[in-house]
Amino acid sequence: MTKWWQEAIVYQIYPKSFQDSNGDGIGDLKGIISRLDALADLGINAIWLSPIYESPNVDNGYDISDYRAIHPDYGTMEDMHQLIELAGEKGIKIIMDLVINHTSDQHEWFIKSKEPDSEYRDYYYWKKGIEGKKPNNWTSFFGEDCWAYDVQTDAYYLHLFAKEQPDLNYHNPRVLEEIKQIMKFWLDKGIAGFRCDVINIIYKNALDNGRKRLILTGREHYLSTEGMHTILKMLKNEILTEYDAFTVGETVFVTPQMGKALCDESRGELDTIFYFEHMETDRWFVKWFKRKFSPKRLFKVLTNWQQALEWNAIYLENHDQPRSVNRFGDTEAYWEASSKLLATLLLTLKGTPFIYQGQEIGMTNFDFVDMNELRDVESFNIDSLGKKLHIPKSYRWYMMKHCSRDNARTPMQWSREKNAGFTDGTPWINLNKNHIKINYHEQMHSPHSILSYYRRLILLRKAHKALIYGDFELVNQQTNVYIYRRRHEEETLTVLLNFSNKSQTLSTLGPILLSNYDREYFDGLMLPYEAIILK
């Protein structure tokens, strides 16, 4: 049986940087509402909203202090109802971000839990140190270690992200009960599902010391545990199914094997996941060490996942990743062609595609010149860790330029005007100066723009079921050329992608359905960064 979300194309909005409506320099819900026509015109069917809940914004909303309230920066609950309704009228569903591994340290549960006798104490992991030392040797995702000390009660609490993000304790059944009620609260408002933040680390088996590792010491105690699988099953059974709600789990360090265990329909856990393996194909060990991108590595990872899972989420960008054209394409001579090439990949693989705001106009990494232009807590933590480890300043800056999450968080470039039409005020983070050249307005009017190409691809996907339901069949993954087929009933389409700035000669020929060079017949010679769909 097919599902609504298999035919859907999801667009991720990072609300803080999408559209400001009141001149305070921060994007907001009214701003999103004002751009719904643009989204409908692109042809998307759902919006994944990064967090808009009440939050002190240490990690831009991924530190929630009230799951049932809208942050005043973003507007009111009334605005949220309006967004759900008006988007719905245009056939656009809303998917919310569900951040339940941790809360903010300003959440009332956490504040109350600081009292040792409080009924909230066990909502979190509070532990006494061992002889003046931290409870164990685990390290956090943001580079620091992951136990913070509280003087008042002479105890530590666990935080796998920033210290303002204490981890919830799912050994306490009351925590899951709270989460279920929160999910219902939003589903009853008419949202269509959840993107579940770092969902495969929520259940910690034990707080024992971990094997020493380069990153994330301790992870064998909480990655993809049985307890986590049990929780997912309960959420699906007891809450999600009744609403026909969609889930995409953000899952770290997952293999295709683990992916199957999370997404196989028969297991009743998640619908899809975001894996990270393809995001590592231009990195050494950790995301902070860039290496030369190898297209072949990318093809291999993608093929592997395409073959392992019946269905999954497909993405090349999000608010945590540098822009894809900088990583896998060419921002100079072939900026347009390579952005379109990546669009073709995204929209012709098997799965539900996620477009990140700005990707549809080929937005690029930031052009910041100084550390004080950055805003991300992770970047600052990593920079100070780098300092401690005596990494030279120039290399630390190189790391930031290529790897900081702020690369994707500069404001959406709507026009060539002041502040790119994002705000009338002072933006919370600087805009990329290239908005003079790269902006929505310009591309909207040009039939050959990246934006128009996205539109065409989306239409094509709707017209050719093979692009949605077709099997994935690998034809070739040579050094720079990726070729695969999508076959469904009577139709077979072949996708050819040239990930290099050199022409390539192939033995295939034939009439073209779509090419990013607007050609109609393929003569066997692939141009630099050319993407072709053959009939």
> What are the residues binding Ca ion (CB under 5 A)?
20, 22, 24, 26, 28
> Closer CB to Ca ion, residue 249 or residue 411?
411
DSSP for residue 432: P
Contacts of 392 (CB under 8 A, 6+ apart): none
Q: Which two tokens stand for residue 174?
A: 């009351």
Residue nearest to ligand TEU (CB): 62
Residue 24: CB minimum distance to Ca ion, A: 4
Tell me which of 99, 155, 182, 493 binds ligand TEU, using CB under 6 A: 99
Contacts of 10 (CB under 8 A, 6+ apart): 44, 45, 46, 47, 48, 95, 313, 352, 353, 354, 355
Alpha helices in 43-188 (DSSP H): 77-89, 108-113, 173-187
| 111 is an interface residue for ligand TEU by CB under 6 A | no
Q: How far is CA 401 from CA 86, 137, 259, 356, 411, in A?
A: 38, 30, 31, 19, 17
| 164 is an interface residue for ligand TEU by CB under 6 A | no
Max CA-CA distance within the chain? 76
Backbone angles phi, psi at 233, to 5 degrees: -60, -45
Q: Which does 22 bind (CB under 5 to 8 A by kind): ligand TEU, Ca ion, none?
A: Ca ion
Q: Which two tokens stand for residue 86?
A: 């008006």
| 198 is an interface residue for ligand TEU by CB under 6 A | yes
> Closer CB to ligand TEU, residue 377 or residue 451?
377
Q: Which does 26 bind (CB under 5 to 8 A by kind): Ca ion, ligand TEU, none?
A: Ca ion
| 215 is an interface residue for ligand TEU by CB under 6 A | no
Q: Which residues are catalytic?
A: 197, 250
Region of 376 (left: φ > 0; alpha: ψ -120 to 50; beta: rest) is: beta
Q: Which does 24 bind (CB under 5 to 8 A by kind): ligand TEU, Ca ion, none?
A: Ca ion
> Closer CB to ligand TEU, residue 90 or residue 213?
213
> Is 446 buried (19+), middle (13-18) or exposed (0-12) by CB count in 10 A?
exposed
Contacts of 89 (CB under 8 A, 6+ apart): none
Q: Whole-angstrom Cα distance, residue 166 to residue 59?
A: 12
- Give the residue from 171, 179, 313 showing the smallest Cα distance to 239: 179
- Give the residue from 353, 262, 358 showing the smallest Cα distance to 308: 262
Tell me which of 120, 141, 275, 366 binds ligand TEU, using CB under 6 A: 141
> Closer CB to ligand TEU, residue 25 or residue 143?
143
Q: Which does 252 bind (CB under 5 to 8 A by kind): Ca ion, ligand TEU, none?
A: ligand TEU
Helices (H) and strands (E) in the chain, counts: 16, 21
Q: Angle 177-48-413 (CA atoms, 0-180°, nearest 5)?
A: 145
Q: How many residues does the chain have?
A: 535
| 197 is an interface residue for ligand TEU by CB under 6 A | yes
Q: Which does 28 bind (CB under 5 to 8 A by kind): ligand TEU, Ca ion, none?
A: Ca ion
| 499 is an interface residue for ligand TEU by CB under 6 A | no
Residue 22: CB minimum distance to ligand TEU, A: 25
Tell me which of 20, 28, 54, 59 binds ligand TEU, using CB under 6 A: 59
Residue 21: CB minimum distance to Ca ion, A: 6
Residue 62: CB minimum distance to ligand TEU, A: 3
> Closer CB to ligand TEU, residue 163 or residue 319?
319
| 79 is an interface residue for ligand TEU by CB under 6 A | no
Q: Whole-angstrom Cα distance, residue 382 to residue 403?
A: 11
Q: Which does 141 bind (CB under 5 to 8 A by kind): Ca ion, ligand TEU, none?
A: ligand TEU
| 383 is an interface residue for ligand TEU by CB under 6 A | no
Residue 242: CB minimum distance to ligand TEU, A: 27
| 287 is an interface residue for ligand TEU by CB under 6 A | yes
Residue nearest to Ca ion (CB): 28
Residue 381: CB minimum distance to ligand TEU, A: 10
Which H, E and C letters describe 310-379, residue by residue? CCCEEECCCCCCCCHHHHHCCCCCCHHHHHHHHHHHHHHCCCEEEEECCHHHCCCCCCCCCHHHCCCHHH
Q: Which does 59 bind (CB under 5 to 8 A by kind): Ca ion, ligand TEU, none?
A: ligand TEU
> Radius of gyration over alpha carbons of the chain, in Å?
23
Q: Which does 20 bind (CB under 5 to 8 A by kind): ligand TEU, Ca ion, none?
A: Ca ion
Residue 133: CB minimum distance to ligand TEU, A: 26
DSSP string, 445-483: T-TTSHHHHHHHHHHHHHH-HHHHHPEEEEEEE-SSEEE
| 282 is an interface residue for ligand TEU by CB under 6 A | no
| 320 is an interface residue for ligand TEU by CB under 6 A | yes
Extended strands (E) in 21-73: 46-49, 53-54, 66-70
Q: Whole-angstrom Cα distance, residue 177 to residue 31?
A: 34
**How many residues sit close enough to ligand TEU to count as binding (CB under 6 A)?**
14
Residue 368: CB minimum distance to Ca ion, A: 22
Interface positions with ligand TEU (CB under 6 A): 59, 62, 99, 141, 161, 197-198, 250, 252, 287, 319-320, 378, 405
